[in-house]
Chain A
Amino acid sequence: MNLLVQTANDDGGFHAPSILEFFPPALLFEGTPFEINRIMIIRFIAVIAVVLIFWLGTRNMRMVPGRFQSIVEMGLDFVRVSVAEDLLGRKDGKRFLPLLTTIFFMVLFMNLTGIIPFLNIAGTSVIGVPLVLAIIAYVVFIYAGIKKSPANFFKNALFPPGVPLFLYIIVTPIEFVSTFILRPITLTLRLLMNMVVGHLLLVLFFSATSFFLLMFNWYSLFSVGTIAFGLAFTLFEILVAVLQAYVFTLLTAVYVQLAVAEEH
């Protein structure tokens, strides 16, 4: 590791992506719980972008929407119709809509910073955002279930109906682990790892491109291939960004729906 990083100091050397990419040096308040580094600033930029777009897009809404308003409406309607109302129904969908909308757009915009030039790293590629959102989802679905009917919630979660009685010895611990332990962990890791790996791949392709290109010999031709891969993966990362935002929101909605359901 040291060797690689040392060689990176030489111009044209190969800069291998490392996990340290996700721990850039502090810019402000170093050492305090309010330390701000590059990735924190990127998150702030994403938050400002969300607020700005949706504030402007909903500021002066017309009955017959213009182009910009249509896009904003489409985004909000996507969460409202295909996630919230589809899974939770009209009443519960309305209750949890602010949460689901926030999760969707926060994850989406923080994912997209990974492919935006000069930002180049996803705000969700450090564990904080996925973890905080997963904990919120966890707290919310347990709260929703307990508020609806505590007995029903725990019965459905731990003792799924239609299982022979003696099998509960096995089923109940499995259900307990999967519902109350694995759900937040999988939510966190799925998003985090997608973004970490996506970033590392892009860094790998583009640093390889620069490495080959700056050799100024026949090996420079390799840079054509690596940059092509880099561009392809950039497009793929857009897809992943949208998909992961959708999956995170959808799973949160599903957990809430399972918690408030009368029966499985």
Chain B
Amino acid sequence: MLHGVLSIAAAAEETRNPLIPEWYDIIWSSVCFIVLFVFFWRVALPRMKKLLDERGEAIEGNIAKADEAQRQAEAALEQYTAQLADARAEAGKIREGAREDGKKIVSEARETASSEAGRITAAAQAQIEAERQAAVVSLRSEVGTLAIDLASGVIGESLTDDKRASAIVDRFLADLEADESATAGKK
């Protein structure tokens, strides 16, 4: 059918110059242009511009947010480092204190031990002294008796007069002691 129409058109007009515009062609082209121009100018491009502005703002906002986060992180790190240093100092202090305490405890123990040892030594010496005294006292009487017996045997006389005998012995022992203390004093 189109062919038929074409042939009629061809019969009517042998040929057409494509460079000569028809009025309707110009008019409808202008209408198309105006419609599109108004559409892009008033609708599409302002929407696009709005979006681009919003996107730019969002990007800037995000950058600001990232900066803020960075700053916070840095502050937190600083705080953490400070805390760590504090803790370290604290730990050092505690360690130092513990060392001091230990030293004190050791020295106290040592003191206690040495005083205890002194006390024990003193007690032992006192006991020894007491025992020596006891031995001296018992020896004195024994030695006295023995010496009297010996002397009785030697002089052939009974020195039974105990009063005299004990006086002699006492004197002798006193001499002896005096002698002893004299030698000790000389030393």
Per the bound structure, the CA–CA distance linking A132 and B33 in Å amounts to 8
A176 neighbours in B (Cβ, 8 Å): none
Interface of chain B, main secondary structure = helix
Query: Is the CB–CB distance between B36 and A126 below 8 Å?
Result: no
Query: Is the CB–CB distance between A102 and B43 below 8 Å?
Result: no
Chain A window 198-230, contacts with chain B (Cβ cutoff 8 Å), 1 for yes, 0 for no = 000000000000000000000000000000000
- Chain A proximity of B20: nearest CB distance (Å): 8
Interface of chain A, main secondary structure = helix
Query: Is the CB–CB distance between A101 and B7 below 8 Å?
Result: no
- Chain A proximity of B25: nearest CB distance (Å): 3
Interface size class of chain B, counting residues whose CB lies under 8 Å from the partner chain: 35 or more
Residue from A25, A35, A136 in contact with B9 in the complex, judged by beta carbons closer than 8 Å: A25
Binds B, one of A39-47, A234-242, A247-255: A39-47
Query: Is the CB–CB distance between A126 and B41 below 8 Å?
Result: no
Q: Is B155 an interface residue (CB 8 A)?
A: no
Query: Is the CB–CB distance between A36 and B28 below 8 Å?
Result: yes
Per the bound structure, the CA–CA distance linking A20 and B48 in Å amounts to 42
Per the bound structure, the CA–CA distance linking A243 and B6 in Å amounts to 32
Complex: chain B residue closest to A15, CB-CB: B3
Query: Is the CB–CB distance between B6 and A19 below 8 Å?
Result: no
Query: Is the CB–CB distance between A126 and B48 below 8 Å?
Result: no
- Say whether, besides A23-B16, A47-B36, A63 and B54 are in contact (CB < 8 Å): yes
The B-contacting residues of A in range 153-201, CB under 8 angstroms, are 192, 196
Q: Is B171 an interface residue (CB 8 A)?
A: no
Query: Is the CB–CB distance between B55 and A63 below 8 Å?
Result: yes
Q: Is B94 an interface residue (CB 8 A)?
A: no
Complex: chain B residue closest to A41, CB-CB: B28
Per the bound structure, the CA–CA distance linking A215 and B157 in Å amounts to 190
Chain A window 26-50, contacts with chain B (Cβ cutoff 8 Å), 1 for yes, 0 for no = 0001001111100010011011001
Per the bound structure, the CA–CA distance linking A222 and B4 in Å amounts to 27
Per the bound structure, the CA–CA distance linking A192 and B5 in Å amounts to 25
- Chain A proximity of B178: nearest CB distance (Å): 123
Interface centre among B3, B28, B35 (most CB of A within 10 A): B28
- Chain B proximity of A19: nearest CB distance (Å): 6
Return 28 A-B CB contacts under 8 Å, by A number: A5-B7, A8-B3, A8-B6, A8-B7, A9-B4, A15-B3, A19-B18, A23-B16, A32-B24, A34-B24, A35-B24, A54-B43, A54-B44, A55-B44, A58-B44, A63-B54, A76-B48, A97-B45, A101-B40, A102-B41, A105-B40, A126-B25, A127-B18, A127-B21, A128-B21, A129-B33, A133-B29, A196-B18
